[in-house]
Amino acid sequence: MPNRGEKEMNEQAILRRNEFEKWMLNKKQGNGRPYAPKTISDYAVALAGAAKKLKEASALETTNMFEIGEYDRYVKVKAIITTAEGFEEIDRKARTQDFTQGLKFYKEFLEDKEHAAMTESARSNSSEEAYHDKNIILYGPPGTGKTYHTVIYAVAMIENKPLQDIVEEAGADGGYEQVKTRYDKYKAAGQIVFTTFHQSYGYEEFMEGIKPVMANAEETGADSGDISYKIEPGIFKRFCEKAGEPIVAADNDYGIREEPVIWKVSLGDSKDKGVIKRYCYEHGMIRLGWDEYGENVNEATVYANGGKGVINAFVNEMQQGDIVLVLKDEKHIGAIGVVAGDYEWREDLDSYKRTRKVNWLLKGDDVNINVVEMNGGVKLTLSSVYRLHRVTLNNVLSILQEHQAALPQSVARENPNNYVFIIDEVNRGNISKIFGELITLIEPSKRLGMREATSLQLPYSGELFGVPNNVYLLATMNTADRSIARLDTALRRRFAFAEMMPRPQLLSSLQIDGTGLDLEKMLDMINRRIEALYDREHMLGHAYFLGLKNEPTLEKLGQLFEHAVIPLLQEYFYDDYEKIRLVLGDNRKADERDRFITEVAINANDLFGSGGDRYADERKTYRINAEAFKREEAYRGIYENRSAANAAVQP
């Protein structure tokens, strides 16, 4: 009978196996689809007993991998297993990759468990959790620093730090410049994308659409200059594809570079009956023709027989570490390889002397993989070499996995980086039109990798699409354009909201040269009056006045009032100058020179002659007083209530 220690170990192994199988249910293949329950079960069976078939099994501390719960300990055991004699025979005899794949995923499982334990420990020792909503809208009146704060929010999201930490850093002397520098670095790396919605913005720009292009004669066989149409991914779809791409290890054994380009290549033609293709497979290379142009081509080369674009792609654009898919027919490929060398001219070959070394990952007469769906429904053309823009590294890794040629985990791993997509003026766009089916996919619980992960088929390309869990949506909206109450209901349900209101206190230290003006009090009084006469969503933001820090003059303040404040108030109150005067305190100013808006009485008899007062009785017109913009007392009168003024001017 097993002793108590062995029994407890067996029970732990059973529990760990159940945890592993549940963990696998949430994993996604490279194409976004979940693993089948039978596949998961097969992996678990192999992990529990396949190691017994090794000749060195007796040297292992256990042949049941589920008895190992520590990551470092498992890595050592796995290294012994994968280098043992007969390891590859286990999967070869079973005609599966269950053991190899199971070992890989169990390593990921233990790594995730260890990371979760460390994270929980860190949270228990921290007073604030570095958590951010996946979708958030910064909303408020104009000039409240919403766009400014997108920089702070985006950096906090990408670095997975508490927002308050970055806010405090940005508030320190020179701190915002340091945060902005990091923001620009992330933007250059493609982790941040900024776009602005407008009335004509649509689904085609955001997700995908059909666009006309000038036909390339070498790729399509059409006459040069003909118009053709192709499905183009939109800005958000491209962003999500980048966020979902795995990270390639710099030192991987297969030589795949960090962001490989996927190329389609044709080897030989129908006349050679596959001789060149077989030679390339046997000798680890790809070959290109047009030998008549010689080894080196340049601007002086006359491409009488075509091939200029193809040769340039093969010689100059293709790089070591790129991936090549070999054409079998217009729908299928027959091999996958990694470019392993620079361009070479092989004089010893009879034809097709332009060559590059290739490390083949998958090849053979029986390999026949349909790639039309992953290529956006577009068939492959006869052009010898061209870039496959729609096919991703995830697609390639998925093919390799499905055909029992999966690369080890050391080649690629899940992208650990966070990505932030910023939408400025989100309320100016037609949300239903722009987002389409994406309105469901952006829900945090529906993201790829989550328990309720959802993918939908896109209408143009027919591709399955889901939003990666490492993508954050950060938007801004101006409440003066449209209040939250009138925002698309579906969008409101899926976004958190952070209100950004005017902060007059940020102007407390601003001193206008040669004056004693209190800008904090001035802005506060303006906004209190706007709120009373209109609403709080149309207040005036503090950001309008922050430019005075660099030029703290009365002249600059006058320019702000003349060209920003007054026009904004005219828009708010639809040229109701009585209300504008109330906001600016003009009705309480004793000296008419200090009033920004002055009244001009209408003399109807002068305008229309005798009896004109019947048509313009007691009417007034208003004029903007340019003199007031130059006077300190005009601004002081906004917030100061002087008894002399009250006695002199009717409210």
pLDDT digits 0-9 by tens, 392-427: 887 888 788 777 665 655 577 778 889 999 999 888
- State pLDDT tens for residues 299-323: 788 888 888 888 888 988 999 989 9
Helices (H), 452-603: 489-494, 519-533, 554-560, 566-572, 577-583
- Give yes or no for residue 220 having a pLDDT over 50: no
Q: Is the pLDDT of residue 174 over 90?
A: no
- Amino acid 184: pLDDT: 94
Single-letter code of the amino acid located at 112: D
Distance CA 384, CA 75 (A): 44
pLDDT at 330: 84
SS3 state of residue 570: helix
For the full predicted model, state whether its pTM sits above 0.75: no
Residue 563 has pLDDT above 80, yes or no: yes
* Rounded (5°) CA angle 279-304-267: 15
Q: Please check the confidence at residue 552 and state whether its pLDDT lies above 80.
A: yes
Q: Amino acid letter at 493?
A: R
Q: What is the largest CA-CA distance in the chain?
A: 123
Q: If one looks up domain 251-398 in CATH, what number appears?
A: 3.10.590
Q: Cα dist. 574→569, 579, 598, 622 in Å?
A: 8, 10, 17, 14
Q: What average pLDDT does this structure show over 121-128?
A: 37
A 10 A CB-CB count for 495 gives 23
What is the C-alpha separation between 273 and 271, in angstroms, rounded? 5
**What mean pLDDT is predicted for residues 79-86?**
84
Residue with tokens 């800005």, as numbered in its chain: 235
Contacts of 87 (CB under 8 A, 6+ apart): 54, 81
Alpha helices in 284-367 (DSSP H): 308-312
**53 vs 603: which has the higher pLDDT:** 53
- Mean pLDDT, range 48-55, rounded to an integer: 87
Q: What percentage of the chain carries pLDDT values higher than 70?
A: 87
Class of domain 135-202+416-499: alpha beta
Q: Calculate mean pLDDT across residues 326-346.
A: 88
Per the CB < 8 A criterion, the answer to whether 595 and 636 are in contact is: no
Distance, CA of 428 to CA of 426 (rounded, Å): 6
Percent of the chain, pLDDT > 90? 25
Residue 641: is its pLDDT beyond 70?
A: yes
Supply the DSSP string of 5-41, one letter for each residue: HHHHHHHHHHHHHHHHHHHHHT-B-TTSPBPPHHHHH
Tokens in use for 309?
A: 């674009």
Tokens of 318: 């293709």
Q: What is the pLDDT of residue 216?
A: 53
The mean per-residue pLDDT over the stretch 238-242 comes to 90
Provide the pLDDT for residue 194. 94
State mean pLDDT over 384-391: 85
Dihedral (CA of 171, 172, 176, 182) sign: negative
Query: What beta strand segments (E) does 43-197 contain?
Result: 135-140, 192-196
Angstrom distance (rounded) from CA 517 to CA 523: 11
Do residues 527 and 502 lie in contact, with contact meaning Cβ atoms separated by under 8 Å?
yes
Q: CA-CA distance, 194 to 474, in Å (whole number)?
A: 9
589: left (phi over 0), alpha (psi -120 to 50) or beta: beta
| Per-residue pLDDT, 649 | 43
The confidence score (pLDDT) of residue 125 equals: 36
pLDDT value of position 8: 53
Rounded mean pLDDT, 3-14: 63
Among 478, 475, 520, residue whose Cα is nearest residue 501: 478
Residue 485 has pLDDT above 70, yes or no: no
460 CB contacts (<8 Å, ≥6 apart)?
208, 209, 210, 231
What average pLDDT score do residues 328-344 get?
Answer: 88
Residues 267-285 have a mean pLDDT of: 85
Question: How far, CA to CA in Å, does 385 sit from each of 174, 228, 565?
Answer: 51, 20, 59
Q: Classify residue 513 by burial, with Cβ atoms within 10 Å: 0-12, 13-18, 19+.
A: exposed
C-alpha to C-alpha distance for 581 and 579, rounded to whole angstroms: 5
For the chain, give the mean pLDDT: 83
* Model confidence at 3: pLDDT above 60: no
Indicate if the pLDDT at residue 560 is higher than 90.
yes
- pLDDT at 468 (0 to 100): 92
Q: Mean pLDDT, to the nearest integer, of 252-267?
A: 84
321 closest CA partner among 361, 370, 290:
361
Domain boundaries, the chain: 4-124, 135-202+416-499, 251-398, 504-648
pLDDT tens digits along 428-437:
888 888 888 8
